[in-house]
Amino acid sequence: MFDWMTSPEAWIALATLTALEIVLGIDNIIFISILSNRLPEAQQNRARILGLAVALIGRIGLLLSLTFIMRLTEPIITIMDHPVSGRDIILILGGLFLLAKATREIHHNVEGPLEEKKVASHPSFNSVLLQIFVLDMVFSLDSVITAVGMVDLVPVMVTAIVIAILFMMVSANAVSSFIETHPTVKILALSFLMMVGIALIAEGFEIHIPRGYIYFAMAFSVFVEMINIRSGSRKKSLV
């Protein structure tokens, strides 16, 4: 079971998969932070940790179901001469859910203060955990399928997932605090999630949008927003 630890190729594969899981998990961290911030402050950190722990179990379970994962890429139905696989259905449904959830969160942040005067309520703790689990499964589907295609050593893949989830657990609080402190960044993050949702739907219809374009757009937008935040901080210090 531990024979792979003496193989340089296995360590290279582990580093590659870990980096892939972390990069693909950035949008996941943002979404988890936004969801958990809807809970009472005393429950937010516990929701993030438990949500990621449940997501870890789900990812490993998905990974261990290698036969099931490979079947997801095989067509199960045909719509207007277009073969549709289980993976396509999951991506389309996940993208639609992400679009709907991000739109609702944007509405809550823009129109929220007026609504909160009428109803001051929080989502239930269990519903937030369920949403974190479902979205993590959607986000991790592509990376798990990629991992299966890249490496044939299950321990390497499991180790990469565990390291990535631990990284997300460590960074989730910092990301959450930053997003909550800067409302404009929160709206920007939700816009990113809508972009990811559109990309997932397109992927489900076999329209591949290079992730490099998406990540470049995100990075450029964040860069511009950081300049705005820095400029605003300087103006406040001068007043």
Domain boundaries, the chain: 3-238
Record the tokens describing residue 213, joined without a space.
Answer: 């374009």
pLDDT digits 0-9 by tens, 133-187? 887 777 776 666 666 656 667 787 788 888 888 888 888 788 777 777 777 777 8
pTM passes above 0.75: no
Going by DSSP bridges, is the β-strand pair 82-85/75-79 parallel, antiparallel, or unpaired? antiparallel
Q: What is the pLDDT of residue 114?
A: 47
What distance in Å separates the CA atoms of residue 164 and residue 158, rounded to the nearest whole number? 10
Amino acid letter, residue 9: E
Mean per-residue pLDDT over the chain, rounded? 76
pLDDT digits 0-9 by tens, 193-209? 788 788 878 888 888 88
CA 213-215-220 angle, to 5 degrees, is 95
What distance in Å separates the CA atoms of residue 183 and residue 110, rounded to the nearest whole number? 10
What distance in Å separates the CA atoms of residue 191 and residue 185, rounded to the nearest whole number? 10
62, 133 contact by CB (below 8 A):
no
